[in-house]
Amino acid sequence: MSRPDILLLDNLDSFVYNLLDEFASAGMNVEVYRNNVPAADLLARLARRPGVLVLSPGPGHPQDAGELMPLLRAALGRHPVLGICLGFQALIEASGGAVGRVGPVHGEAQTLTLTGSEGHPLFAGLGPLSVARYHSLGSRDLPPTLHSLAEIDGISMAAEHRQHAALGFQFHPESLLTPRGRELLLRSAEFLTGRHIGQPTFAATVQETTQ
């Protein structure tokens, strides 16, 4: 089965090139757009050629990141969304939550605590996960629309939307300090689109084990 296209929103962060390399190395078509491109133009692009909208890390608050919030609010429920660091914070805000200062933490590798999500396809079989943190904003209280998947010291590190194909990571899977990061990114694209990317889908695994 073909692999999903990636529309990568660049929130003016050097990590965007790491993300580009990770997805491209898996054979995915990746298009990168700065966050000053009008949201309407990017939505039109997604309508013409559907794919996963990936919201990159970046500086500052998500409400101040150009077209990030207008694009995300319009895309939720219409297109699969993956938010990373600033992109995850944007997902929290767009889902009715709020982010505030929780750091700073820059360039530290710490171990995730899974929050009842051991059977989730994103983390199944990966064991204890060391992840890279580079952030000063975050959330300790997710809105009801988001389901917590992982945390560190009470700060949300991963969550998925309860109604829409959207999820995010506060940590940086594209960093060298996240050894299983590439696998997490590919599993995320698979989970959001229901396509096969090197691993059996969670739904297929459930069917096989229940037949």
Query: Length of the chain, please?
Result: 211
Structure tokens at 65: 């990141």
118 has catalytic annotation: no
Q: Which of 67, 174, 183, 190 does the annotation list as catalytic?
A: 174
Residue 4 DSSP symbol: P
State the SS3 of 40-102.
HHHHHHHHHCCCEEEECCCCCCHHHCCCHHHHHHHHCCCCCEEEECHHHHHHHHHCCCCCEEE
Structure tokens at 94: 């767009």
Q: Which of 79, 161, 164, 172 does the annotation list as catalytic?
A: 172
Q: Which of 79, 85, 160, 183 does the annotation list as catalytic?
A: 85
3 state SS of 36: coil
79 has catalytic annotation: no
| C-alpha of 149 from chain center | 12
208 has catalytic annotation: no
Beta strands 113-114; 100-111: pairing state: unpaired
3 state SS of 199: coil
110 contacts 133 by C-beta, under 8 angstroms: yes
Catalytic residue IDs: 85, 172, 174
